[in-house]
Amino acid sequence: MSKTLERRAKFREELILAAERNMAAGGLAGLKTRELAREIGVANGAVYNLVEDVDELILRVGSRTLGRLDVALSTAESIGPASPRETLVRIAIAYCDFAAENLELWRALFEHRMAPGKPVPEWAIREQMDLFRHIYRPLAELFPERTPVELGVTARSLFSATHGMVLLGLEQKLIAVPVVELRKEIAIIVGAMIDGLTAKAA
Amino acid sequence: MSKTLERRAKFREELILAAERNMAAGGLAGLKTRELAREIGVANGAVYNLVEDVDELILRVGSRTLGRLDVALSTAESIGPASPRETLVRIAIAYCDFAAENLELWRALFEHRMAPGKPVPEWAIREQMDLFRHIYRPLAELFPERTPVELGVTARSLFSATHGMVLLGLEQKLIAVPVVELRKEIAIIVGAMIDGLTAKAA
ipTM: 0.90
Measured between beta carbons, which residues in chain B are less than 8 angstroms from residue A120?
A: 173-174
pLDDT for position B36: 95
| B163, B194, B195 ranked by CB distance to A164: nearest | B163
Please report the sign of the dihedral spanned by the C-alpha atoms of residue A189, residue A194, residue A195, residue A200.
Answer: positive
Task: Look up the pTM and report it.
Answer: 0.92
| pLDDT tens column, A99-156 | 999 999 999 999 898 888 899 999 999 999 999 999 999 999 999 999 999 999 999 9
CA nearest to A67, candidates A158, A160, A130: A130
What pLDDT is recorded for position B193? 94
CB pairs under 8 A between A and B: 114
pLDDT exceeding 90 applies to what percent of chain A? Answer: 80
**pLDDT at position B179:** 87
Picking from A113, A167, A200, the nearest residue to B192 by CB comes out as: A200
Lowest mean pLDDT among A167-176, B44-53, B153-162: A167-176
Closest chain A residue to B112, measured at CA: A173
Chain A contact set for B93 (CB, 8 A): none
Min Cα distance A103 → chain B (Å) is 16
B128 burial type by CB count under 10 A (0-12 exposed, 13-18 middle, 19+ buried): middle
Q: Is residue A43 scored above 80 in pLDDT?
A: yes
Alpha helix (H) residue ranges in A27-132: 33-40, 47-50, 54-78, 84-101, 103-111, 122-130
Contact A165 B177 (CB under 8 A): no
CA distances (Å), origin B64, targets A59, A175, B38, B140? 37, 21, 22, 28
pLDDT at A176 (0 to 100)? 63
d(CA A106, CA B62): 26
Residue A174 has pLDDT above 60, yes or no: no
- Residue B188 phi, psi (nearest 5): -65, -50
* Per-residue model confidence (pLDDT) at position B173: 59
pLDDT at A173: 59
Contact with chain A for residue B168, Cβ under 8 A: yes
pLDDT category, B202, cuts 50, 70, 90? confident
pLDDT tens profile B131-176: 999 999 999 999 999 999 999 999 999 999 999 999 999 986 555 6
Confidence class of residue B126 from pLDDT cuts 50, 70 and 90?
very high
A52 phi, psi to nearest 5 deg: -65, -45
- Chain A residues whose CB is inside 8 A of the B194 CB are 192, 196
Q: Say whether pLDDT at B25 is over 80.
A: yes
Set of chain B residues whose Cβ sits within 8 Å of the Cβ of A164: 160-165, 167-168
B26 touches chain A (CB under 8 A): no
Short-list B57, B132, B48, B53, CA closest to B95? B132
